[in-house]
Amino acid sequence: MCVVGARPNFMKIAPILRAFAAHQPPVPAFLVHTGQHYDASMSDKLFEDLALPRPDLNLEVGSGSHAVQTAEVMKRFEPALDEHKPSCVLVVGDVNSTLACSLVAVKKGVPVVHVEAGLRSGDRRMPEEINRVLTDQISDRLYTTERSALANLQREGVAAERVCFAGNVMIDSLHASRPRARNAADTLRAHGHDAGVLNGAAGYGVVTLHRPSNVDHAEVLRALLETLRTVAQRLPLVFALHPRTRANIERFGLAELVDPARMILLPPQGYLEMLGLMGGAALVLTDSGGLQEETTALGVPCLTLRENTERPITVEQGTNTMVGRDRAAILAGVDDILAGRGKHGRVPEYWDGHAAERIAADLWRWLSQPRAEH
Ligand code: UD1
């Protein structure tokens, strides 16, 4: 039983389902969507872009506080487990649905399999960090995307035998979808913008922001938008706005900080649109985990507007630089990249488009072992 809930889960599960189907013998899968993300732009469009099958079951939990959302997923997931009796529950990433379904499964004695295990930002104020730590503690089989994850897990008492370094399934999706990426100019035109703005000497930048720590406080969001407005004088910026961020810009009365000639606000974008926008960009400014990885795989310089990252390999080997929310650091990072001093990076080990196949093979072997060994 494979679980997805929120946007970043969809690109992780797509290659896993494909690898399960291609495995000999095929690994049967039942797809549950918790409904944590429900907007067409946050969910349906991505299913389409990633050629994901329709979920076998949608729990339709919707939005709520963390407690309400997590509890609602748990309540609605339990009967599905009782009814379908899967051999394991496979969860991906670090969203509330990941933890909620793992918790239900482990208490029912159903093995939990976690894809993208062992990533740690070290920052427990992030809801995702709590979800990561707890999910890994109750998982029976853990698949990691980078080698540093094993050390994190061992520090928390997870036995190395439970852990398998499989690589990055997000990058499997990127490889599979890149030929279908949508041209950036077409994306702008589709939203009624003049695509000529992309053709300036400096190119263009792509921005995404949605972390509560960056967008939920008026003063923090104001300062970030002011800095981005300054960046936009150097190169035009295309924003793909998360619903939370759009709502907060309105609520805090910050819309006047947006320079419409140089800052293009788009609704949340599909996967193929994002790939096209990122692929053609001079740089990406983001607080997303997924974009840190995708820019590294694409070789596009990334400035991460956070103090920490759970994906250190993107900084050590990839194109990522942590700049926090500090205005001077952000502007200096942009200057460096525009002067050709940005990171070129290299693609990390096992970010090769075959991670899901390694997971399918390992999981099949693992599930075939006598039960007592689990
Ligand atoms: C969730 C994940 C985060 C991930 C992000 C990607 C958790 C704790 N966080 O954060 O790790 O990076 O998804 O987007 O699980 N909303 C809509 N339409 C939707 C979904 C949400 O308008 O389809 C709005 C609602 O106002 C909602 C808010 O966005 O209250 C936040 O949604 P939620 O799922 O709680 O968390 P995200 O901030 O999206």
Domain that holds residue 289: 183-338
Q: What is the mean pLDDT of the chain?
A: 97
DSSP 244-259: HHHHHHHHTT-GGG--
Q: Are residues 127 and 42 in the same domain?
A: yes
Q: How many domains, in total, are found in the chain?
A: 2
Question: Is residue 281 included in any domain, yes or no?
Answer: yes
pLDDT, tens digit, for every residue of 107-120? 999 999 999 999 99
Distance 308 CA to ligand 1 centre (A): 20
Confidence (pLDDT) at 321: 98
> Would you say residue 43 has pLDDT above 50?
yes
> Would you say residue 95 has pLDDT above 80?
yes
Q: Are residues 157 and 251 in the same domain?
A: no
Phi-psi region of 89 (alpha: psi -120 to 50; beta: other; left: phi over 0): beta
Confidence (pLDDT) at 370: 83
Confidence (pLDDT) at 372: 57
Distance 72 CA to ligand 1 centre (A): 15
Question: Is residue 344 included in any domain, yes or no?
Answer: no
> Would you say residue 149 has pLDDT above 90?
yes
Longest dimension (CA), the chain: 64
**Alpha carbon distance 353, 52 (integer Å):** 17
CA angle 255, 261, 262 (to 5 degrees): 85
Question: Is residue 160 included in any domain, yes or no?
Answer: yes
Q: Are residues 138 and 97 in the same domain?
A: yes
**Rounded alpha-carbon distances, angstroms, from residue 352 to 43, 163, 295, 323, 344:** 26, 19, 14, 28, 17
Tokens of 374: 């689990």
Confidence (pLDDT) at 374: 46
Contacts with 314 (C-beta within 8 Å, 6 or more apart), sequence order: 292, 293, 295, 296, 302, 320, 348
Task: Name the residue among 230, 248, 227 with its Cα closest to residue 324.
Answer: 227
Q: Are residues 77 and 154 in the same domain?
A: yes
Q: Average pLDDT for residues 36-40, to the nearest whole number?
A: 97
**CB of 172 closer than 6 angstroms to any ligand 1 atom:** no
Confidence (pLDDT) at 373: 47
Question: Is residue 23 included in any domain, yes or no?
Answer: yes
Cα R_g (the chain), whole angstroms: 20
Q: Are residues 16 and 145 in the same domain?
A: yes
Q: Average pLDDT for residues 210-228, to the nearest whole number?
A: 98
> Would you say residue 90 has pLDDT above 90?
yes
**CB of 42 closer than 6 angstroms to any ligand 1 atom:** yes
pLDDT, tens digit, for every residue of 6-18? 999 999 999 999 9
210 included as an active-site residue: yes
Question: Is residue 279 included in any domain, yes or no?
Answer: yes
Q: Are residues 260 and 317 in the same domain?
A: yes
- Single-letter amino acid, residue 93: G
Distance 37 CA to ligand 1 centre (A): 6
> Would you say residue 323 has pLDDT above 90?
yes
Q: Are residues 104 and 129 in the same domain?
A: yes
Ligand 1 nearest-atom number relative to CA 37:
23
Pocket test for ligand 1, best of 68, 69, 242 (most atoms within 8 A of CB): 242
Question: Is residue 174 included in any domain, yes or no?
Answer: no
Q: Are residues 33 and 154 in the same domain?
A: yes
Confidence (pLDDT) at 358: 98
Q: Are residues 249 and 136 in the same domain?
A: no
For residue 210, the domain's CATH number is 3.40.50.2000
pLDDT, tens digit, for every residue of 231-275? 999 999 999 999 999 999 999 999 999 999 999 999 999 999 999
Q: How many helices (H) and strands (E) does the chain have?
A: 16, 13
> Would you say residue 81 has pLDDT above 90?
yes
Peptide bond into 267 cis (omega under 30): no
Tokens of 90: 């496979």
Among 197-201, 217-221, 239-243, 306-310, name the one with the lowest average pLDDT: 197-201
Q: Are residues 31 and 162 in the same domain?
A: yes
**Alpha carbon distance 330, 305 (integer Å):** 8
Q: Are residues 211 and 243 in the same domain?
A: yes
pLDDT, tens digit, for every residue of 331-362? 999 999 999 999 999 999 999 999 999 999 99
Phi, psi angle pair for 316, to nearest 5° = -70, -40
pLDDT, tens digit, for every residue of 280-297? 999 999 999 999 999 999
Q: Average pLDDT for residues 143-171, to the nearest whole number?
A: 98
Question: Is residue 346 included in any domain, yes or no?
Answer: no
DSSP 178-192: GGGPPPHHHHHHHTT
Q: Are residues 158 and 225 in the same domain?
A: no
Q: Which residues pair with 240 in a beta bridge?
A: 266
Tokens of 31: 């797809």
Annotated catalytic residue within 191, 210, 242, 354? 210
Question: Is residue 178 included in any domain, yes or no?
Answer: no
